[in-house]
Structure formats: structure tokens, C-alpha cells
């Protein structure tokens, strides 16, 4: 685990590194809420000036289930897919960020969102699965609502 200056991680965080060589990186001035969970089997990067709410879970790996003759509990882990969270991102309370997801800069993620696809910079997303509900249009210099 590598973290920058002025990083705050609240109590009851759960950090799991199930494979050798895995790396969690947290940028400067980021704050992480209570009961944060992470399962990092490869590489998870959290950018600078991020705010992560309580009960957020980030994983770059999942559990195998494909062989029905093997109990999921002992079936092992899937292939790890790195997660990258850009700078100036807010992740709302109770959200999940899944394997292989890249989140751009200046993104707002609504509470209880399930993020399983990449998120472009300067957008607001929410839901299960999360979808873009607003984006910043640099031409008009306004936040635009997605119908």
C-alpha cells in the first residue's frame, strides 16, 4: 500500500491483498470513510483529492463460480483486472466499484451505485448498474442532464 500526503482513512477499514505483489495507491489529500473495504489482488489506484463515503467497496477481483461441482467458497478468485480512480472523485455511501473499471477526473458517484463500466471525466453517475445522469459540456460551460 502506498499513500500520499494528508490521506485520511476512517476507522474499521478492511484491506485485503489476496495475491503477492498487489498494490493499492491512494493520492494526496484523499479521504476515505468508515467501513471502507478493498480487495486488491493486482492494482487499485485512487487519485488525488478523492472523497470516498462510508461502506464503499472496491475490488479488482471476484470469486470464481463456473465449475458447479466446486463450492464457490473454495473455487478461488477470478483474474484480477486493475481499477483506476482519477483525481477529484466523490464516491457516495454504500457504492461498489468493480474489477477493470476506470473512473475519470471530477466525477460524482451517487450513493449505493454499482459501477461495473468505465466512467468518463466530468460526469455524474448513479444507480445499479450505474449510468451517466449528467455531464459537463465544455462548449456551453454547463452541466447537461442525460434524458
Question: How far is residue 86's CA from residue 27's CA, in Å, rounded to a whole number?
Answer: 9
Contacts of 45 (CB under 8 A, 6+ apart): 25, 27, 82, 83, 84, 85
Active site residues: 63
Torsion over CA: 66, 72, 74, 80 (sign)? positive
pLDDT for res 147: 85
**Looking at domain 2-64+71-145, which of 3.40.718.10, 3.40.50.2300, 2.160.10.10, 3.30.479.30 is its CATH number?**
2.160.10.10
Residue 89: predicted pLDDT:
98
Ranges of each domain in the chain: 2-64+71-145
C-alpha angle 133-134-137 in degrees, rounded to nearest 5: 150
In angstroms, the Cα distances linking 36 to 10, 60, 62, 128 are 8, 15, 17, 19
pLDDT along the chain (147 residues), means of 10: 96 95 97 98 98 98 95 94 98 98 98 98 98 98 95
Q: Which has the closest alpha carbon to 13: 21, 1, 5, 22? A: 1
Task: Give the global pTM.
Answer: 0.95
User: What span, in angstroms and rounded, lies between the C-alpha atoms of 91 and 97?
Assistant: 9
- Residue 65: its pLDDT value, please? 96
Strands (E), 74-115: 83-85, 90-91, 96-97, 102-103, 108-109, 114-115
Amino acid at each position: 500500500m502506498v499513500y500520499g500526503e494528508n490521506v485520511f482513512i476512517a476507522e474499521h477499514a478492511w484491506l485485503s491483498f489476496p495475491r503477492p505483489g498487489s498494490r493499492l495507491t491512494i493520492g494526496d489529500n484523499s479521504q476515505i470513510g468508515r467501513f471502507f473495504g478493498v480487495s486488491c489482488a493486482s492494482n487499485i489506484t485512487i487519485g488525488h483529492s478523492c472523497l470516498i463515503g462510508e461502506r464503499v467497496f472496491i475490488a479488482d477481483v471476484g470469486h470464481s463460480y463456473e465449475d458447479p461441482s466446486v463450492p464457490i467458497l473454495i473455487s478461488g478468485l477470478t483474474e484480477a483486472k486493475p481499477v483506476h480512480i482519477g483525481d477529484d472523485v466523490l464516491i457516495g455511501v454504500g457504492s461498489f466499484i468493480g474489477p477493470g473499471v476506470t473512473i475519470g477526473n471530477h466525477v460524482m458517484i451517487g450513493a449505493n451505485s454499482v459501477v461495473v463500466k468505465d466512467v468518463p471525466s466530468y460526469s455524474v453517475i448513479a444507480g445499479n448498474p450505474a449510468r451517466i445522469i449528467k455531464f459537463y459540456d465544455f462548449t456551453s460551460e454547463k452541466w447537461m442532464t442525460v434524458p
